[in-house]
Structure 1
Amino acid sequence: MLVAAAVCPCPPLLVPEVAAGAAPELDAARTACADAVGVLAASRPDRLYVVGPAAGADRTEYPQGAAGSFAGFGVDLTVRLGAGPEGERALPASLAVAAWLLERERWAAAPVTGLGVGEGRGTADCAADGRELAGAAERVALLVMGDGSACRTLKAPGYLDERAAPFDADVARALAAADTAALLGLDEGLARELRAAGRAPWQVLAGAAEGAGLDGRLLHEDAPYGVGYFVAAWT
């Protein structure tokens, strides 16, 4: 059963070594992420699942100990998803950021498994994935990585789209209220057009949280670089 969840953004810029001189711009987001991970530890889970967007339309599991690298972003930094033998598959960028967050907070509260969810994975499949995770142990926690729209400003990765701000506002309200129906109602096509990579992971969260009776808190919301970032905690 899902007992707690944390939602965090997943830009590699969250890692100070990657952001370099721009690192202070995301200090508030990093602090909120640390608070959210602390909520997960306090929930005393039997297992933590880290869920993040990945390429494709399928899902891929990553065992504890799987490694991810930020070499592709010009930084010689490798992270591990908890302690364990290194797996054969490298973590996608979203899960590498999650592994960095967990290392930063010295996560040792429960075993960790990663789940990369294809950005093309449909709503029904995402919800089913979430229900599967929630039933995997008596006390399950989720760390859900994902960004909102990437079209909030003219300089945003996806340029300016007037639909982006309302889309992100809907996401923020849903995360603040732990509104699973609203998350499952996010339009897949619109999310794709707005380059909102968090859509699939958020819908996994919604499936996992169905019937769990969790309350939500929005800890941080911003759109630096024209991309929507949210940090939330569900308990």
Structure 2
Amino acid sequence: MLTLYSYPELFGVADNNGYGLKVFAWLRLAGVPFVHEHLFDASQAPRAQLPYVTDDGVAIGDSEAILAHVRRAYGVTLDDGLTEAQRDTALMVLRLLDDLYWVMSYSRWKDEAFWPQFAAALKSQHPRLTDADLQAAQAFNAQRYHYQGIGRFAPAQAYERGLADLAVLARLVPQEGFVFGPTPTATDAAIYGFLANIHFYPIETPLKAFVSGQGNLVRHLCDIHARIQSGPAAG
């Protein structure tokens, strides 16, 4: 049985990290049965990063490597009908989401305007987390942000970057249907993975204000959210 290991849920979203939620949504949309296990500690994961999967005793890390493995092993055809131009667009969306990730994460762990609300929410839903756990995670993330670069930005500058990413997605996602037509693809799962972790959170960051103000993005998120609430996952 395929097992997905990812960070815990929060605010009704199955994973509070965009990459793990992307994989979760994609597996549900693809109809692939899997067990979902939540972890806080990624130290034993491939590259010490979540998400990862195990399949027949083999551990596979990196969200795109996971999707590639499952496509081959389980015959997933969600993206089979895409044109070369659409595949190019899909890759550019993935890279844009990589950029958005840092701003979204910054809004939780770095920006003192929102960090207390995020920390309180984590402790409320996951009581085993201590203040020491959260302070250690905050310090770890601050180091990551510094070396990546986003941590050297003031909040207004960081959000300007994230809002530019979101504006592109708002122009890409249609009013009806999905990015490449009437059925969702991996691109829709990826967009959901990151934007659900903004829109469904009751923490009023500038990112949330933008997403929640775009009817097409909200409609897309709610559609995917409804489709993946029940599916072939065990555990």
TM-score by length of 1: 0.31
* More helix as a share of residues: 2
Bigger radius of gyration: 2
* More strand as a share of residues: 1
